[in-house]
Chain A
Amino acid sequence: MTAHLELSDVSASFNGFKAVNGLSLKVEKGELRCLIGPNGAGKTTALDLICGKTVPSGGSIRFKGIELGRHDDYQIARSGVGRKFQVPSVFRQLTVRENLEVAYCKRNGVLANLLRWAHSADSDGLDKLAEFVGLSDQLNVPAAHLSHGQTQWLEIALLLAQDAELILLDEPTAGMTVQETQKTADICNRLKGKHTIIVVEHDMGFVKAIGDIISVMHQGKLLAEGPVAEIENNPKVKQVYLGSVGISGA
């Protein structure tokens, strides 16, 4: 039985600098995996490699048994990989509703979309999503007018609308208040089981609230892997973090 997502010996280099160097990682279907590590460990690059933003210079990435390395980013997305970026990226000139409609992409073809009116998508479902992330009142507001927190929520709603099998979250709680972080953790826990999720996060409280198994990256490689309690007491991990900031403050 192959894993849902399997990275084996993956590398990425920029001008000789190896951001990811021989990373191997296995994530089972329905699992929520947290990816932590000090700054520059290659966490974001690892997500970039999976979703096709960065082309690997070596190794293989298999999703549902299919090799992703040879596909374009939009093809990878079609195969069921969704991504939330570190810097919130939504369509600022479009309204919240229109944003959700773009994300709701059951059919990707040009012709199919040309012969369909923009506002005919599953309206109820999208309205519910907006309600879920607390943006019901902002449905017709351009995304540019949203606050930073609201933008984060919108992007999470976009991911939910996209309904991807594998969801990659890059620091979903950056800039959020404690309550908002809690709510994000709730969402993650609800998605667990239905979707396979990889979360890159610095906030250890958040990681403890959602994570089963944690993978620790260091210098582009996998350093340790295991349940939260085990990782916290791992001497190698401690050393890496003490070398920089310490695991809770990173």
Chain B
Amino acid sequence: MMSKRTMRQVFVYGAVCLAIFLLPMLINDDFLLNRFARYLVLAMVSMALALSWGYAGILNLGQAMSFGLGSYCMAMALKLRTIPVHTGSEGLPDFMVWNNVEALPWFWKPFYSMPFAIAAGIIGPMIVSAILAWFMFRGRVTGVYVAIITLATLVVVNLVIIDQQWATGGFNGITDLAQLELFGITFDAYSATTYYLIAICLTVCLFLALAVTKSKAGLILQAIRDQEDRVRFFGYDVALFKTMVFCISAGIAGLAGMLYTIVMEFASPTFLGVQLSLSIVIWCAVGGRQSLVGALLGAILVAGMQGALSESEVFLDTWTLVMGALFVLVVLFLPNGIASLGEKLTEKFGGRRATPEPAKRGNSIARSTKLAEGK
């Protein structure tokens, strides 16, 4: 049986997804569509972070690691489908030829298979995260130390990828990729097809994450966020629960990373950079860490504003300043982000009704979506 609150949530989530699907009808510009597709991918990672941070209290500052690993998996598969500019022996990727690599490294070979690449892009980050989570949570590392370990791990992986230029393309990443072809459909980065692919993935992941939070496990995770030790004395293996949510979050981030490669048409070490990883935290915090859809909209809103402002010369420099200030203000006054603002507003205007009307809430969020899209 669904509670009123759950019904309301499903309604709002559905409305947001519907708006996302309807958007291409309003846009004729392929360039703009590509950009929105990019924001949707970023929204996916932000949502994934909300799942582990907002619901289980795991502040993962290395969320970009899963994202980046996913994006490299897709990039490797697409690279092997291009006709190299400089053909070496056995059709080596161009940057390997430049690095005097004789033969394709063994770990590149399975990526000739697209199903393998897709599976690797999701399961790979999950396995890496599972190992990391097991390592941390078995040792009962909590709070700030989780943040440090995840950040440090991200930096290590980033350093290794940049250092191992012969296999990863180093600083430049993997560029000049083929277009993804699945079931006879070609996914051009600048097309509605790709946009819909991303919209579908986003919707599926959003509702999957919602289901996780609505399960009993989701409830236990929230209890863990509140009082980890107390949960243990009810007989739950806290480390296992945390590992589970950490992995689901990583899987979603990995999928988002793959989609990002398709939209951007390259993979770069910046995809698993500290900058991006901290940006994800900002989107999530601004949107509302305890609301999946809030985190999602936060990413679209902030990344969208960034995209719009950094285009005009005047705002290019001040943007970072505005962003920093915005972030400090949100942390100070809206610890649960814009999503909580929506709730507060409905409470204020909805009178003293115990349960805010779903339609109102839907409207206020739809309005903030408009704001994001209008820019």
Contacts and interface: CB of A to CB of B under 8 A. Distances in A.
The answer to whether A and B come from one shared complex is yes
B227 A74 contact: no
**For chain A, which range describes its interface: under 10, 10 to 19, 20 to 34, or 35 or more residues?**
35 or more
Interface string B299-322: 000000000000000000000000
Contacts of A244: none
B137 interface: no
A32 interface: no
Interface in A131-156: none
A90 interface: yes
A218 B266 CA distance: 71
Interface in A190-247: none
Contacts of A116: 215-217
A77 interface: yes
B163 interface: no
Nearest to A82: B233
Nearest to A73: B232
A94 B214 CA distance: 13
Nearest to A143: B226
A110 B240 contact: yes
B51 to A, nearest CB: 13
Interface stretch (A2-10, A18-26, A100-108): A100-108
Interface in B217-248: 217-220, 222-223, 225-227, 229-238, 240-241, 244
Interface of A: 51, 53, 72-75, 77-78, 82-83, 85, 89-94, 98-99, 101-103, 105, 108, 110, 113-121, 158, 162
6 contacts: A77-B235, A90-B230, A98-B219, A108-B235, A114-B216, A120-B1
Interface of B: 1, 3, 212, 214-220, 222-223, 225-227, 229-238, 240-241, 244
Given A77-B232, A102-B231, A110-B240, 8 more contacts: A94-B219, A94-B222, A94-B223, A105-B236, A113-B216, A116-B215, A120-B1, A158-B234
**Those 7 A-B pairs whose CB atoms lie nearest each other, nearest first:** A77-B235, A78-B235, A113-B217, A91-B226, A114-B217, A113-B216, A118-B219
